[in-house]
Amino acid sequence: MISAWDADDVRAAEAPLLEAGEPLMDRAAFALARQVLADLRARRRHLRGARVVLLVGAGNNGGDALFAGAVLARRGVAVTAVLVSDRAHDGGLTTLRRAGGRVVDLAGEGPERVGAVAAQAARADVVVDGVLGIGARGALRGRAAELVDALAEALARGDGPADGPGRPWVVAVDLPSGIGADDGTLPGPVLPADRTVTFGAVKPGLLLPPAASRCGEVTAVDIGLALDGPPALRRLEAADVGRAWPVPGPADHKYTRGVVGVVAGTAAYPGAAVLTTSGAVRAGAGMVRYRGPGAVGQAVVAARPEVVVGPGRVQSWVVGPGIPSGPDQPPDADDGQHERGGAALAAARGELAGVREPAPAVVDAGGLALLGDRCPPWFVLTPHAGELTTLLRSRGEDVRRHEVEAAPLRWARRAQELTGATVLLKGGVTVVVGPRGAFSQADAPGWLATAGAGDVLAGLLGAMLAARSAEVVEQPTLAAEVAAAAALVHGRAARRANPGGPVAALDVAEAVPATVAELVGR
């Protein structure tokens, strides 16, 4: 499990250590220098003659870069520090100069000089981005913004070292300067990093879209901080999911393993019912019951003869895949789908009206239009950004899809507050928010962005919730963890289905059993 803490928590953990005189910056800078040396060695035969450019801001982030630069200079690396602010860390600057580093001050310089320095930096072996860390407020300003813009442009043009692999390796200090440390937003220009060396604790912004794709490989360095209290964000790893997976024992039977009730699919979208039930069957549900139109039920049984069509007790529900969101929503086209959506919703509503016992539920697609004012945390809503926007707007938030995409954690959190449910926001990185705590999962290849993949996820998650139904209802925080685990299994199944190439949604469902077997270690 990777745990991430907000900037304020990191500062609070640093404070007593700094007061006690612990050399936190030395530790951070030394670890940074070691990482840059390792990266240089991986890229060229000799350190001597290697060129490293440090982009240095006014604060301690720049200080880290300067002290690390001094270590590199002492090892024979040609180090140039570019000061992008009218201030720089005094001790760091003196130490770098003493070690033989060069300093270029951009204060008071015009755009031409900034452009020339960017062109030079683009020919370095490594660029170290120490402009801003957790002290950043909003978008990069002034000279820092100009330099990062010019450098990003030069890198895109490919002005790299003639004898190197094309362009410099970019190492971000603590975080790529200018990203939102706590929320992963991109308020302005950011130099995309190949690696981020982060100190004391991973910051949520490194794991969250859209910033996560600008961070490269994240290397966390322990500088001795004791972060107690719950992390702001977590990311499950394979071992976490393997450990928690409910492996059936000798006393289990199909009912103890969990029955999933699926309310999905319409005459217009029968495939969604097949995909959802396939996801649930392939994830090892004890039984899958299908509840929906007769013709769709026939298609389901033809594809998955294990599925039982008809009423009965269930341990979790999956509601909504393949059910259009109904007459409350403006139809995309006047093709009658609008009407059918209304009828399907009414049928689904009728189906669920008979449910008396509290059971976890996955609420997807058209099912989102069925929600009451408040939901229990064991309801997991699984919208993509467009559906989340519709949900938020229906609850009074004046928000657009591009705003949801620019700040997914914020808006998933808002939807959690407004509904009380657990919210799983689908995307390249999946963000899950429960009543206490959030997860971000980046397990899926881009190939998974294909029609029906969400239906498979809904079924898979339904089976995982059914297996731990009573626990999920008792512990308000558990649904989020199970949802994050489902996103991990889903993403890994997509990779397994066809490593490095396209996948169809049904292929993903078919790859779930082997994925789970690998996770539980058998």
Ligand X SMILES: Nc1ncnc2c1ncn2[C@@H]1O[C@H](COP(=O)(O)OP(=O)(O)O)[C@@H](O)[C@H]1O
Residues near ligand X, by CB under 6 A:
384, 426-428, 430, 444, 446, 448-449, 451-455, 457, 490
What is the per-residue burial (b if ≥16 Cβ within 10 Å, else e) of 176-212? bbbbbbbbbbbbbbbbbbbbbbbbbbbbbbbbbbbbb
Considering the complex, state which of residue 173 and residue 444 has its C-beta at the smaller distance from ligand X.
Answer: 444
x-or-dash string of contact with K ion, 99-138, rule CB under 5 A: ------------------------------x---------
Q: What's the Cα-to-Cα distance from 187 to each of 115, 150, 157, 211, 403, rounded to whole Å?
A: 22, 17, 24, 10, 12
Is 63 annotated among the ligand-binding residues? Answer: yes
x-or-dash string of contact with ligand NPW, 211-230, rule CB under 6 A: ------------x-------
Applying CB under 5 A, does 177 fall inside the site for K ion?
Answer: yes
Least separation, in Å, of the C-beta of 187 and ligand NPW? 8
Applying CB under 6 A, does 58 fall inside the site for ligand NPW?
Answer: yes
301 binds, among ligand X, K ion, ligand NPW, none (CB under 5 to 8 A by kind): none
- Inter-residue contact 442 to 497 (CB < 8 Å): no
148 binds, among K ion, ligand NPW, ligand X, none (CB under 5 to 8 A by kind): none
Give the tokens for residue 469: 């139904």
Applying CB under 6 A, does 133 fall inside the site for ligand NPW?
Answer: yes
455 binds, among ligand NPW, ligand X, K ion, none (CB under 5 to 8 A by kind): ligand X
Least separation, in Å, of the C-beta of 446 and ligand X? 4
Least separation, in Å, of the C-beta of 88 and K ion? 14
Applying CB under 5 A, does 173 fall inside the site for K ion?
Answer: yes
Residue with tokens 């209802």: 473
Q: What's the Cα-to-Cα distance from 496 to each of 448, 463, 507, rounded to whole Å?
A: 11, 20, 9
Is 105 annotated among the ligand-binding residues? Answer: no
Applying CB under 6 A, does 173 fall inside the site for ligand NPW?
Answer: yes
Which phi and psi (to 5°) does residue 247 adopt? -75, 125
Q: Which residues pair with 129 in a beta bridge?
A: 55, 172
Q: 130: which residues sit within 8 A by CB, 6+ positions away?
A: 54, 55, 56, 57, 61, 62, 63, 64, 65, 66, 173, 177
Considering the complex, state which of residue 28 and residue 466 has its C-beta at the smaller distance from ligand NPW.
Answer: 28
Least separation, in Å, of the C-beta of 9 and K ion? 19
Is 138 annotated among the ligand-binding residues? Answer: yes
* Nearest in space to 284 (alpha carbons), one of 434, 486, 120: 486
Contacts of ligand NPW in 10-39 (CB under 6 A): 14, 18, 24-25, 28
* Number of chain residues interacting with K ion (CB under 5 A): 5
Alpha-helix runs per DSSP H in 5-105: 7-19, 24-43, 60-74, 90-98
What is the rounded distance in angstroms from the CA atom of residue 425 to the CA atom of residue 403? Answer: 14
Applying CB under 6 A, does 56 fall inside the site for ligand NPW?
Answer: no
Pick the piece of the chain touching ligand NPW (CB under 6 A) from 51-59, 322-330, 460-468, 482-490: 51-59
Applying CB under 6 A, does 174 fall inside the site for ligand NPW?
Answer: yes
Geometric angle at alpha carbon 269, from 408 and 415, rounded to 5°: 20
170 binds, among K ion, ligand X, ligand NPW, none (CB under 5 to 8 A by kind): none
Please name the amino acid found at residue 93: L
Geometric angle at alpha carbon 336, from 333 and 338, rounded to 5°: 75
Print the SS3 string covering 339-386.
HHHHHHHHHHHHHHHCCCCCCCEEECHHHHHHCCCCCCCCEEECCCHH
Considering the complex, state which of residue 201 and residue 348 has its C-beta at the smaller distance from ligand NPW.
Answer: 201
Provide the annotated binding site for (6S)-NADPHX: 60-64, 133-139, 174, 272, 322, 384, 455
Residues interacting with ligand NPW, by CB under 6 A? 14, 18, 24-25, 28, 57-62, 64, 132-141, 144, 173-174, 199, 223
